A = this chain, B = another copy of it.
Amino acid sequence: MLEFEASLAKAEAHVGVIPVPAAEVIAAQADVARFDVRAIDEVMQSAGNLAIPLVAALTRNVGDVDAQAKGFVHYGATSQDAIDTGLVLQLRDALVLIDADLVRLTQALVHQARKHAGTLMPGRTWLQQALPTTLGVKLAAFVSALDRHRDRLERARHEDLVLQLGGAAGTLAALGSQGLAVSEALAEELGLDVPDLPWHTQRDRLCDIASILGMLVATLGKLGRDIALLAQTEVGEANEPAAPGRGGSSTMPQKRNPVGASIAIAASVRVPGLVSTMLIASVQEHERGLGNWPAEWETLPEIVMLAAGALAAMLDVAQGLDVDAERMRGNLGLTNGLIFAESAQIALAPTIGRDAAHALVARACRRALSENAHLRDILASEPEVVQHLGSERIDALFDPGRCLGESSALIERALARHPRQAH
Contact = CB atoms under 8 A, between A and B. Distances in A.
A291 interface: yes
Nearest to A74: B250
B283 A251 contact: no
5 contacts: A47-B245, A47-B248, A52-B248, A168-B342, A208-B211
Interface string A160-193: 0000000111111111110110000000000000
Nearest to A123: B169
A65 interface: no
A374 to B, nearest CB: 13
Query: Which 3 interchain pairs have the tightest Cβ spacing?
Result: A265-B291, A71-B353, A123-B169
A277 B269 contact: yes
Interface in A91-146: 122-133, 137-138, 140-142, 144-145
Interface residues of A, number: 173
Contact of A123 (B75, B214, B286): B286
A301 interface: no
Nearest to A415: B196
Contact of A229 (B59, B224, B285): B285
A4 interface: no
B405 A245 contact: no
Interface stretch (A32-40, A255-263, A387-395): A255-263
A61 interface: no
A396 interface: no
Given A126-B257, A201-B141, A265-B290, A407 B171 contact: yes
A298 to B, nearest CB: 8
B285 A361 contact: no
A273 B170 CA distance: 30
> Per DSSP, are chain A's interface residues mostly helix, strand or loop, or mixed?
helix
A273 to B, nearest CB: 3
Contacts of A74: 250-251, 354
A256 B124 CA distance: 12
Given A141-B198, A275-B276, 12 more contacts: A46-B246, A67-B353, A126-B247, A127-B233, A133-B169, A211-B214, A218-B279, A222-B282, A226-B286, A232-B235, A266-B292, A272-B275
Contact of A280 (B46, B226, B269, B287): B269
B141 A202 contact: yes
A299 to B, nearest CB: 6
A43 interface: yes
Contacts of A77: 250-251
A10 interface: no
B252 A141 contact: no
B234 A410 contact: no
B268 A291 contact: yes
A198 to B, nearest CB: 8
A73 interface: yes
Given A76-B346, A282-B218, A171 B127 contact: no
A307 interface: no
Contacts of A338: 254
Residue picked from A204, A228, A294, most chain B C-beta under 10 Å: A204
A381 interface: no
Given A243-B46, A263-B294, A273-B273, A355 B285 contact: no
A15 interface: no
A403 interface: yes
A152 to B, nearest CB: 8
Residue picked from A47, A127, A266, A287, most chain B C-beta under 10 Å: A127
B262 A272 contact: no
A63 B354 CA distance: 11
B294 A258 contact: no
A248 B357 CA distance: 15
Interface string A53-95: 0010001000100011011111111110000000000000000
